[in-house]
A and B are shown apart, each in its own frame.
Chain A
Amino acid sequence: DIVVTQSPGSLAVSLGQTATINCKSSQSVVYRGNNKSYLTWYQQKPGQPPRLLISWASTRESGVPDRFSGSGSETDFTLTISSLQAEDVAVYYCQQHASTRPTFGQGTRLEIK
């Protein structure tokens, strides 16, 4: 299975500042047939199911604020949250879907400093 590793495990950022979460896969998650990165990002707030934020490494889902952005390719990816708001406090997960056995990173807990 493809192993996905996130860093840091937790992060405290001041309101209005930028949070950066990294995700690394044990092998490339780019499919050469379409040159797409099979990497998604989710947000999970306490007591709620996860919410899909970004698919294909950088495509923001409908309704997701544009302060959320995803980037990266091959094995290294980043979720950037700019102008941090109080409602962004959550655990963030990346997930690879390059194989028929999708795997998640261990999560990054984002708090307000």
Chain B
Amino acid sequence: QVQLVESVGGVVQPGRSLTLSCVATGFTFSYSGMHWVRQAPGKGLEWVAVISYDGRVKYFADSVQGRFSISRDNSKNTVYLQMNSLRVEDTAVYYCAKDPGSGGSGSYYFEKWGQGTLVTVSS
């Protein structure tokens, strides 16, 4: 079955960088768009970024545009989220999520989710 496993997050100081990874199994990774979605402690869900199945199309939320980047390695079934210039307000559980779209355009909703990883930005 589909499994998405995020790397361990951690505590990072404001202004610093951190890269998350998510390893996917149980489906043809190279056919699926992949997303990152975050949830601040006790708060709701916020979509962060998407990457198309082939890595050519990427979109970001306004709140992270210019600071975060997303990439993927289809040979390793892995999607990455590089987070630069981190802010206190980036503190959240970060989930990677599978788009149900196959090839072509994504569907931009979230069929399967990882368990999430906590990133805390604090001095």
A96 CB to closest chain B CB (Å) equals: 9
Q: Quick check: is B25 within 8 A (CB to CB) of the other chain? A: no
Tally of B interface residues using CB under 8 Å: 20
Rounded to whole angstroms, the CA-CA distance of A95 and B44 in the bound complex is 11
A93 CB to closest chain B CB (Å) equals: 6
Q: Quick check: is B45 within 8 A (CB to CB) of the other chain? A: yes
**Chain B, interface SS category:** loop
> Which of B47, B50, B109 has the most chain A CB atoms closer than 10 A to its own CB?
B109
Chain A residue numbers with a CB within 8 Å of B47 are 101-104
A49-B95, A101-B59, A103-B47 given as contacts; is B115 within 8 A of A55 (CB)? no
Chain A residue numbers with a CB within 8 Å of B115 are 49
Interface positions, chain B 87-101, Cβ under 8 Å from A, are: 95, 100
Interface positions, chain B 48-107, Cβ under 8 Å from A, are: 50, 59, 61-62, 95, 100, 107
**Chain A, interface SS category:** loop
Chain A residue numbers with a CB within 8 Å of B108 are 38, 97, 99-100, 102
Residue of A nearest to B45 (CB): A104
Interface positions, chain A 41-56, Cβ under 8 Å from B, are: 42, 44, 49-52, 55
Tally of A interface residues using CB under 8 Å: 22
A49-B116, A100-B59, A101-B59 given as contacts; is B45 within 8 A of A55 (CB)? no
A100-B50, A101-B59, A101-B61 given as contacts; is B44 within 8 A of A50 (CB)? no
Give me the 3 closest cross-chain CB pairs, A-B, nearest first: A97-B108, A49-B113, A97-B109
Residue ranges of B at the interface with A (Cβ–Cβ < 8 Å):
44-47, 50, 59, 61-62, 95, 100, 107-116
